[in-house]
A and B are shown apart, each in its own frame.
Chain A
Amino acid sequence: MNASAWHMLLEGAWTTLWISAVSIAIGVMAGLVIALIRLARIPIVDQLLVLYISVARATPLVTLALFIFLSAPDLGLDLNRSVAGILALSLNTTAFNAEIWRSAFRNFSREQSEAAMATGMTPWITFRRIMLPQMVITSLPGLVNEMSFLIKGSPAIAVIGIVDLTRVTNRISAVTYEPLPPILVAGALYMAIIGCLVWLQRLAERRANRLAT
């Protein structure tokens, strides 16, 4: 592999990294918001969210990305490829994260929130100061799992023309006729990214020990 191949690989890695990171950030927060809204059990809204979650979880990423990219012009939206890719990944991961957050809500100790309310905390302060910090710790294994699924599934966005870390290996081997080296390097880069996530998970596990009473 020559310098330009390396350059292309790193660019592909960067594309995968930032598109995934943005999608993860959106997905984690939107999932939390959906879980919060679902707590209120607002009649029609709740059914719509359930519908979204089941559809998004059942739809392959490739299909979702294509659908968004191709239908956007009809809806009068001018999406560039990256935005469409982020939208597809976010819509997918949000659905899974919403379920992770929801089970964290369901499993949260009622005694602890009662103790918070008893000191005069409003439900909102109770959520922010008492529930959320613990829910982050207990949900992190599930969230990180979902993050690495997203990264591993992200090559699907190549279908709408985004040159990500996987797609770029194709381009390089089309020139060099040596497919193996770029794929091996790409694999190593994926492992490095996921490795960082696993490290984050370990950190959370150490904190989680405290919560086990």
Chain B
Amino acid sequence: MSEANTSEMAAVSIRHLSKSFDDVEVLRDVELEVKTGEVVTIIGSSGSGKSTLLRCINWLEKPDRGSIHIAGQRIGIHEDGRPMPVRELAKVRAKTGMVFQGFNLWPHLNVLHNVTEAPIHVQGASKREAEERAMALLEKVGMVDKRDSYPNTLSGGQKQRVAIARALAMQPEVMLFDEPTSALDPELVGEVLAVIKDLSAEGYTMVMVTHEMAFARAVSDQVVFLEKGLIIERADPETFFTTPKTDRVRKFLENHDTPSPA
């Protein structure tokens, strides 16, 4: 298979991605390929550019250079350099689903409507169809009982599970998770990780930023280490966690309770 061909098959294909805020280069020539069904974990210290990388994938952040394809389709700019009109950009964005550290549920809508809002108003799904799909997803994340509740009455773990269902409702090609458990009380982390683990078992394509090393080791197909906007190491989880190539990663893992072999 030619290289062009493999990148068309990829769920996400990132080429020569660079991004600066003011004068600071936050991403430097990042290359990343996420195959369909693959789970890629991005690790790195605070400020290394993990969130920015994730937010470039769905164009919440506009890269300075480079290209990003989602399931073969370029996001943000046309191949000839023309900027993409907002409606078209929104269509490509809909191929990605994002889960935020702070949940970001819409507080004026109940749980069910948080999940049906985009399918109805973006995809044009009928109310019935959207609700059926939403109920199946709420079942998957264990939130059916709370379908009529408003976000402000939920715990953090419950909010995050609803947020995952909301992102899944658009049937995205890839799910993007930005530290989905970092804002949670320790006792609520497990329920959210369990949901994400189920998704990986079901073959969902995911790109995830996390500080949960044991979890990363258990679910990832590929681990990427970001340092000052550069990918300085990438490997399968076994290699990454047992025999890191650079001192930087070795130090990082020492400070982060390297998980025991799964």
The reply on A76 being an interface residue by CB < 8 A is no
- B98 — nearest CB in chain A belongs to which residue? A118
Q: Tell me, in angstroms, the Cα distance from A181 to B226 when the chains sit together.
A: 80
Asked if B108 and A133 sit within 8 Å, CB to CB, the answer is yes
Interface string of A63-106 (1 = CB under 8 A from B): 00000000000000000000000000000000000000000000
Asked if B107 and A213 sit within 8 Å, CB to CB, the answer is yes
Asked if B122 and A121 sit within 8 Å, CB to CB, the answer is yes
Shortest CB–CB separation between residue A204 and chain B, in angstroms? 12
- A133 — nearest CB in chain B belongs to which residue? B108
Asked if A117 and B100 sit within 8 Å, CB to CB, the answer is no
Chain B residue numbers with a CB within 8 Å of A125 are 121-122
Interface string of B102-145 (1 = CB under 8 A from A): 10111110000000011001110000000000000000000000
Contact of A210 among B87, B96, B118, B150 (CB under 8 A): B150
Asked if A120 and B94 sit within 8 Å, CB to CB, the answer is yes
Q: Tell me, in angstroms, the Cα distance from A98 to B123 when the chains sit together.
A: 33
3 closest Cβ contacts across the A-B interface?
A: A120-B94, A119-B118, A115-B104
Q: Tell me, in angstroms, the Cα distance from A130 to B104 when the chains sit together.
A: 12
- A119 — nearest CB in chain B belongs to which residue? B118
- A134 — nearest CB in chain B belongs to which residue? B108
Asked if B150 and A120 sit within 8 Å, CB to CB, the answer is no
The reply on A211 being an interface residue by CB < 8 A is yes
Contact of B98 among A112, A115, A121, A137 (CB under 8 A): A115
Shortest CB–CB separation between residue B112 and chain A, in angstroms? 15
- B120 — nearest CB in chain A belongs to which residue? A129
Q: Tell me, in angstroms, the Cα distance from A202 to B108 when the chains sit together.
A: 17
Asked if A112 and B86 sit within 8 Å, CB to CB, the answer is no
- B55 — nearest CB in chain A belongs to which residue? A114
Asked if B122 and A119 sit within 8 Å, CB to CB, the answer is yes
Chain A residue numbers with a CB within 8 Å of B97 are 118-119
Interface string of A121-133 (1 = CB under 8 A from B): 1110100011001
Asked if A137 and B166 sit within 8 Å, CB to CB, the answer is no
Q: Tell me, in angstroms, the Cα distance from A130 to B105 when the chains sit together.
A: 10
- B159 — nearest CB in chain A belongs to which residue? A213
List 15 A-B pairs, Cβ < 8 Å: A115-B105, A118-B96, A118-B97, A119-B93, A120-B122, A120-B170, A121-B90, A123-B86, A125-B121, A125-B122, A130-B106, A134-B107, A134-B108, A210-B107, A211-B152
Asked if B90 and A122 sit within 8 Å, CB to CB, the answer is yes
Q: Tell me, in angstroms, the Cα distance from A123 to B90 when the chains sit together.
A: 9
Asked if B118 and A120 sit within 8 Å, CB to CB, the answer is yes
Interface string of B149-193 (1 = CB under 8 A from A): 011100000000001001101100000000000000000000000
- B150 — nearest CB in chain A belongs to which residue? A210
Shortest CB–CB separation between residue B46 and chain A, in angstroms? 19
Chain A residue numbers with a CB within 8 Å of B150 are 210
The reply on B60 being an interface residue by CB < 8 A is yes
Chain A residue numbers with a CB within 8 Å of B121 are 121, 125, 129
Taking CB atoms and an 8 Å cut-off, the chain B residues in 76-102 that contact chain A are 86-87, 90-91, 93-98, 100, 102
Contact of A112 among B95, B106, B170 (CB under 8 A): B106
Given A119-B94, A120-B122, answer yes or no on A114-B104 (Cβ-Cβ < 8 Å): yes
The reply on A160 being an interface residue by CB < 8 A is no
Chain A residue numbers with a CB within 8 Å of B108 are 133-134, 137, 207, 210-211
Shortest CB–CB separation between residue B158 and chain A, in angstroms? 13
Q: Tell me, in angstroms, the Cα distance from A133 to B106 when the chains sit together.
A: 10
The reply on B13 being an interface residue by CB < 8 A is no
Additional A-B contact list (12), CB under 8 Å, known A122-B87, A210-B107: A115-B105, A115-B106, A118-B167, A119-B166, A119-B170, A120-B91, A121-B118, A122-B90, A123-B86, A125-B121, A207-B108, A212-B152
